Amino acid sequence: MPYRRLPNTDIARIKALTVAYKKAKELPPFKLAFSQSTFAKIELFINSFEKAMINYKAAYNVQVEKNKDYVALMKKAKIYLSHFIQVVNMAIARGELPEKIRSLYGMDIDEQKVPSLNTEKDLVDWGKKIIEGEAKRMLNNQQPITNPTIAVVKVRYENFVDSYNHQKILQQNTQRMLNELDALRTKADEIILSIWNEVESSFKDLPDDLKREKCTEYGITYVYRKNELKGLQLLERSLFDFADH
């Protein structure tokens, strides 16, 4: 015996609601297999659900699209910060700068490696330290680091930070839209369950095959279990072989 399967995607939910809604618009109330109160719920809800789906998809698409630019800016900021620190360390290795100068940039005096710049937080924190450290050094009339200069590093860093903050806003927007959609999904499932229960109840006295046929017209989805599918396939094959002979 096949069993009904409630929708588990937004597309399937909106399809189930739309089928029931159209059926209610086509038939007079006394012929409809579910109540007018349920129809009123569908009518009030369906547009809100579709709008929430559209809003979430739009917010998500904007976030994904802008993320491409964001990733590119993050890579640039990482490269310029890394190169600047490497130039400082090479100047120290050549004896042009004292090791203690590293402390101005927030690094350990004897640390010769570039600090980790793999996360957004790493870049934000180290970018700020490096820019402030170089500003302090230049206030003491010391020669600026070049290739890259701190001015170029700062531009790359600030572009990244601006994009980082904007991306966080986009992520928050997407999450807010998703939360709203999640709440409506629960409501959609409740309405669909109510429709399907009423429809099946209306056709309960019909033979099983006819009952399922009538219910399917209202958008109810029936699924065969694996063993039932196998049995149907064997039956179809037998009938085909019989007809062939």
Q: Give φ, ψ of 35 to 5 degrees.
A: -75, 160
Assess if residue 88 is contained within a domain: yes
Tell me which residue of 5, 54, 4, 13 sits closest to 185, measured CA to CA: 13
pLDDT digits (tens, 9 = 90+) for 183-212: 999 999 999 999 999 999 999 999 999 999
pLDDT digits (tens, 9 = 90+) for 39-81: 999 999 999 999 999 999 999 999 999 999 999 999 999 999 9
pTM score, whole prediction: 0.77
Helix (H) or strand (E) holding 3: strand 3-4
Higher pLDDT, 56 or 231: 56
> Using an 8 Å Cβ cutoff, are 81 and 128 in contact?
no
> Using an 8 Å Cβ cutoff, are 17 and 45 in contact?
yes
Assess if residue 212 is contained within a domain: no
Assess if residue 38 is contained within a domain: yes
Q: What total of structural domains would you count in the chain?
A: 1
- Spell out the residues 6+ positions from residue 76 whose beta carbon is closer than 8 angstroms to its own: 156, 159, 160
Assess if residue 211 is contained within a domain: no
How far apart are the C-alpha atoms of 230 and 179, rounded to whole Å? 41
Residue 53 sits in which domain range? 10-206
- Spell out the residues 6+ positions from residue 84 whose beta carbon is closer than 8 angstroms to its own: 130, 134, 145, 148, 150, 153
pLDDT digits (tens, 9 = 90+) for 148-166: 999 999 999 999 999 999 9
Assess if residue 166 is contained within a domain: yes
Assess if residue 227 is contained within a domain: no
Question: Which pLDDT score is estimated for 224?
Answer: 81
Is pLDDT above 60 for 174?
yes
Q: Give φ, ψ of 158 to 5 degrees.
A: -70, -35
pLDDT bucket at 3, cuts 50 / 70 / 90: confident
